Structure 1
Amino acid sequence: MIVLLASVERRWPDYRAVWRWHLYAGLYCIPFILLLSASGMIYLFKSEIEAWQDRPYDQLQRHQQAVPASEQIAAAVAAVPGSRWKGYELPVSEQSAARVLVSLQGQGIRVYVHPETLEILHQVPEEVRLMRIVRRLHGELLLGPNGSYLVELAACWTLVMILTGLYLWWPRNLPGWGGILYPRVRHSGKIFWRDMHSVTGIWISTLVIFLIVSGLPWSKFWGEYFKTLRTLTHTAVARQDWSTGNETPRGEHSSHEGHQVSSGRESLSRSSRTASESSVVDYTTVDRIAATVIPLKLPAPVIIEPPAQGETTWSAKSMTANRPQRVTLQLDATSGAVVSRENFRDRHLVDRIVGTGIALHEGQLFGWPNQALGVLTALGLLVMSLSGLVLWWRRRHPGELGAPPAGHPARFSMMLTLSLLCLAIFMPLFGATLVGVLLLEWGLLSRIPGVRTWLGLRGCVPRQARGEA
């Protein structure tokens, strides 16, 4: 262990070490921050963007009563040969087209059907819809699970960047509050860019920490880690209300494979079906279910789904983005009566906390002020990141990474170290990379004179590398 330990001639981490870790985190995270801030701002307005995209299908001219939902579903399934019905979205107005969700070879397809004429107005695979692409870009960089790991690492190291940034920002006998709580805009050069970086960071730090923590349940690694913790603590539920990694989001009809739905218009004979398709329900059941659900006026969108495999009750779910308003109904197929109702307050405390955090993260908890808060936070991240890059580029010296001299005494070192240890336990993926970087820095890079000087590792030279016994 002596070979890997830094010199104890001064307290660790000292000012240079903290600054170096702040820079490590920044150089890795800033490209992700720029991308995630931009995509996150777009996703804040998911409902508005999708409503604008669907406006041709929500302004239909109606002249007579709509045909039953069962016939709308049959028309949609017939329009996608070989598909299976997965869900029916209740129209939000009389001028709206019916949205029918079907599955073809595992791919979800949204079919827009005229409620009077049964004309197919539009059909689009769920995965190529604009906001689904933005969601995948934001959560996994369009790279699948590997992208989710990269985003999670960036989130973890952004927390390190914030903690070390607060350590470096902490006031040191500066006169007044300029450069601490507000930027000194009349100055130029280094002072201006430093103030823009540090003051912006201090004002948005709490919001950024919340966004990171509330987004972790979606990530692939930490999401599975969270499921394991819930199992060990006996707080797990049969189905959680959010997806992890690149899973299909809840409410997107991913849990009903293996069901065959029949109607009078079907051309396939039942005798030709395989055993796996033997669970048969009738489209006309939707008419009874809809007659029960529509008067309840659940928050839109409301999705009616057939029974999951092994179950007998149908479900109607409010999939509103404001998750605390969500409701799930279980209904009897024969009578259409409500068998059970689950409101948000009926869920486990953990699920309520996560659900509320997700709604706030997505800007849907308290209307446009929530969206505005999200936009300001994202813009603050952009300002903080870009000003940090400018500040580092201007202050660096030839042959060195740019760590400042150790002119400030080490303060709160133990608190910072304990905070990082807690993060490593809370986020194992971060803990693994932290250990890896420490071993690389102390065990290898500090032994190479040129690299040691460039990184500013003067205080991290192993004793044996300096010839000490």
Structure 2
Amino acid sequence: MKKGFYNRFWRWHFFAGIFIAPLLITLTLSGIGYLFFPEVENQLYDDLFFGDSESNEQLTIEEGIEKVEKDFHGFAVTKISIMEEPYNTRLTLTDEAGEQKYVFLDEQNQIVGSQNAANTYSNVMRSIHSSLFVGGTPVNYLVELAACWAIFLLISGLYMTFKGKILTRKANGSKNFRNKKLHALIGVIITIPMVVIIFTGLPWSAVMGNIIYTTASNNAPELELNPPTSDINEIPWATRQEETPASDDPHAHHHGGSSQSEHNEFMISVGQLIDEVESENISKPYSIVYPSADDGVYIVSKGSNSGVTGLDVSPSEEMTTYFDQYSGEYIAAVNYEDYNLLQKWFTWGIPLHEGHLFGWPNKVLNLVVCLAFLFVIFWGFKTWLSRKKKDKFSAPPKNFKGLSIGFIVLMVLLGILIPLFGISLIIVALIECIVIFVKKNKE
């Protein structure tokens, strides 16, 4: 039975590696690309981020926004990212079809230039990493499934390394054993940091992300109204789906309480809002999200995982503040201190995953772990090829003599902890049963 336990681990480890290796390589390479997006974008978009327009005329922020919306007909400003110097202010514009553009204003609030949001380096890397640049629910599930099975690969590899005493056995001179030993050694070294990286990335996933957020939201601060939409990157992850309080709309009867009006005539100006923000001692950088309805509010937030170059802050500085869109009155705020334990954990975990929690050492650590992971994948294939017989697949031996209690307990625990993995595990088990049935009928 013990040998059967080992062989089953080996077989599932082998086939999982064969099928998901292309996905894991894609996710790892795109993750490395995203790791350095601030440094890359500071160079690629130097003129937009730090440059000046040709005009020296000083405009107010409202005049700048009005000019932008006039020049970009069909688009409306929905977010404003107020950066620390030397970064320019970034406006996010959205049209009725949901397409977005970024427009940058200099110190005079004059237009410096614009970008198509979907084509920026950070958004391209993020799109590849989260949805393989294809998008859609099935693809998102596939990406999450690859991450889940990567955890199984690491755990099963760890078990086989120590159970098979690969690291302590004397070299027998064979090339296959040397390859296996190196594959196992690097795998053992990176198991813990790689599992941490994978788990801290799961809050953005489809199934586990919703489960984590729902669990984290228990006993969290509850604010009433419409939740902010999921594509508002500047709102911190911990409060991104929280309901927001409503503005007291004394003018609703003037415009019939219409469903959505980002720029109705009764709203306070952005300049007035910025004065209110400063009076609340909210320092740069921060983002301003326009109200999404007549009874909506201005959302002013500081996030540690905004995905915007120059906008991230330390997790302990995170805050989401709400201001009445008509009076500018401060309504409420959710600060880092208000988060529950799980929210705080992922507020620190996400920037750790993205590589900017503790500066360059974080980036270097993540880079080394990712490169080592790629090496483990490559060396795993090399190990297989070194023992593969010509014209044969040379998969690990089948073992259908039953399952040990330890194996069942481990699979059930992983299936409960990672539901998508559990579902796929049931499918794999059914396939194994079909293989057994077919084999018995042929005998």
Distance, in Å, in 2 between the alignment partners of 1:278 and 1:59 is 32
Provide closer, same or farther for how the CA distance between residues 91 and 437 of structure 1 changes in structure 2, counting only shifts above 3 A.
closer
Residue 117 to residue 29, structure 1, CA distance change in 2 (3 Å) = closer
Structure 1's 465 and 366: CA in aligned 2 closer, same or farther, altered over 3 A?
Answer: same
Provide, for residues 282-328 of structure 1, a one-character-per-residue CA deviation record: whole Å limited to 9, x for no partner.
6762112223435846353x112233425454222113434443222
Runs of 4+ in 1 over 6 A off after TM superposition: 62-65, 252-256, 271-274
Distance across 1 between alignment mates of 2:165 and 2:2: 21
Show the counterpart of 1:89: 81
Cα shift at 1:272: 11
Distance 1:273 1:110 in 2: 32
Structure 1 residue aligned with 2:7: 16
- Equivalent AA in structure 2 for residue 45 of structure 1: F
Say if 2:112 is the partner of 1:112.
no
Instruction: Provide the secondary structure at the position in 2 that maps to 1:170.
Output: helix
| 2:288 counterpart letter in structure 1 | I
CA distance 1:46–1:344, shift in 2 (3 Å)? farther
Say which one has the larger Rg.
1
Write the distance in 2 (CA, Å) between the matches of 1:78 and 1:298.
Answer: 30
Residue number in structure 2 paired with 1:379: 371
Q: Structure 1 residues 50, 297: closer, same or farther in 2, change over 3 A? A: farther
Give matches, 1:181-330, under 5 Å: 189-227=175-213, 247-251=230-234, 275-277=258-260, 280-281=264-265, 285-293=269-277, 296=281, 298=283, 300=285, 302-309=286-293, 311=295, 313-321=297-305, 322-330=314-322
Residues 1:123 and 1:58: Cα distance change in structure 2 (over 3 Å): closer
SS at match of 2:84: coil
Distance change (3 Å), C-alpha of 1:333 and 1:196 = same
Determine the C-alpha separation between the residues in 1 that align with 2:153 and 2:393.
17
Instruction: Tell me the distance in 2 between the aligned counterparts of 1:285 and 1:243.
Output: 21
- Supply the distance in 2 between the matched residues of 1:131 and 1:465 (Cα, whole angstroms): 54
Q: TM-score, normalised by structure 2?
A: 0.80
Q: Post-superposition shift, 1:53?
A: 2.7
Q: 2:336 aligned to 344, 349, 359, which one?
A: 344
Question: Following the alignment from structure 1 to structure 2, what is the Cα–Cα distance between the partners of residues 276 and 14?
Answer: 60
| Equivalent of residue 331 in structure 1, options 323, 337, 357 | 323
Question: Quick one: structure 1 residues 419 and 376, their matched pair in 2 at CA, closer, same or farther if it must change by over 3 Å?
Answer: same
Q: 2: CA distance between counterparts of 1:328 and 1:137? A: 29
Q: 1:235 to 1:402 in 2, by over 3 A?
A: farther
Aligned to 2:18: 27
Structure 1 gaps, min length 5: 1-9, 257-270, 450-461
In 2 relative to 1, CA 319–171 (structure 1 residues): closer, same or farther, beyond 3 Å? same
SS in 2 for 1:14: helix
1:65-86 deviations in Å (ceiling 9; x for gaps): 8422111111111111122221
Relative contact order, higher structure (CA 8 A, sep 6+): 1
CA distance in 2, matches of 1:404, 1:25: 12
Which residue of structure 1 lines up, in the alignment, with residue 423 of structure 2?
432
The one-letter amino acid of 2:416's match is I
**2:62 pairs with 1:78:** no
Contact (CA 8 Å) 1:140, 1:146: kept in 2 or not?
no
CA distance, structure 1, for counterparts of residue 326 and residue 413 of structure 2: 54
Deviations 1:424-451 (A, max 9, x none): 11222221221111111122x23455xx
Is 1:389 matched up with 2:372? no
Change (3 A) 1:21 1:275: same
RMSD across aligned positions (CA): 3.8
Which residue is equivalent to 2:394?
402
Pick the aligned partner of 1:446 from 427, 431, 436: 436
Any gaps of 5 or more consecutive residues in structure 2?
Answer: 244-253, 306-313
Matched letter for residue 207 of structure 1: P
How far apart, CA to CA, are the structure 1 residues paired with 2:333 and 2:219?
Answer: 23
State TM-score, norm by structure 1: 0.76
1:155 matched to 2:147: yes
C-alpha distance in structure 2 between counterparts of 1:48 and 1:312, whole Å: 36
For 2:233, the aligned partner's letter is R
